[in-house]
Amino acid sequence: MQTNSNKNNTTRFAPMLYLKNVADGIEFYKEAFNAKEIRRFSNDDGSVHVAEMTIENAMFHIHEEGSTTSKLSPATLGGTTTVLGIFVEDPDALMSKAIAAGATEISPMQDFDYGYRQGDIKDPFGHNWTFQKSI
C-alpha cells in the first residue's frame, strides 16, 4: 500500500530543497509562491524535519539541513549550483508576489527570442528560481 500523497507514478521532478529552518520555508513559500503544504514530518523537539509542498501542480520538498551529511543549505554553502525553473500561468504575478514577500530579483521578467517569458529571483534561503511561461 502506498503511503505518500503522490498516487501518480509518472516520471517527473520533485526537487528537495535544504534549509536551516523548514518551518520558515513553509511560511515563505506559502506567502511568496502560493504554495500549498501537503504534509510535514516533525522532529521530537517540534521543529519541522521535512515538508511536502506544491506550487500549482508542481511538487517539491523542503528538508532540514543535515548536520553530518553533504545535504547542506545554500546559506551554509554560500551559494547554490541549481536554478529551479517552474512554468506557471502568470510568471509576472508570481515573481512580484515573491519579491514582495522577501525574495531578491536577479533578472527582471522579460520576453526572450527563444519563446519564453522569464524572470529570476533568489529566495531568502539562497535558492534561485526562474519563473517562466511559453509565449
pLDDT digits (tens, 9 = 90+) for 78-94: 999 899 999 999 999 99
Q: Is 75 domain-assigned?
A: no
Q: Is 112 domain-assigned?
A: yes
Residues contacting 86, CB < 8 A, separation 6+ = 55, 58, 129, 130, 131, 132
Tell me the CA distances in angstroms from 6 to 11, 60, 113, 126, one per residue in order: 12, 11, 36, 27
Q: Is 59 domain-assigned?
A: yes
pTM for the complete prediction?
Answer: 0.86
Report how far residue 133's alpha carbon sits from residue 125's, in angstroms, rounded to the nearest whole number: 24
**Band (7; pLDDT cuts 50, 70, 90):** low
Which residues constitute the domain of residue 112? 16-66+83-134
Q: Is 31 domain-assigned?
A: yes
Report the number of distinct structural domains present in the chain.
1
Percent of the chain scoring above 90 in pLDDT: 81
For residue 3, the SS3 value is coil
For residue 134, the SS3 value is strand
Report how far residue 11's alpha carbon sits from residue 117's, in angstroms, rounded to the nearest whole number: 25
Flag the least confident range among 6-10, 15-19, 123-127.
6-10
C-alpha cell at 74: 545554500
- Asked if pLDDT for residue 2 goes beyond 60, the answer is no
Which is nearest to 64 in space by CA: 36, 85, 45? 45
Q: Residue 93 belongs to a domain with what CATH number?
A: 3.10.180.10
pLDDT digits (tens, 9 = 90+) for 19-67: 999 999 999 999 999 999 999 999 999 999 999 999 998 999 999 998 6
- Asked if pLDDT for residue 1 goes beyond 60, the answer is no
Q: Is 74 domain-assigned?
A: no
Q: Is 29 domain-assigned?
A: yes
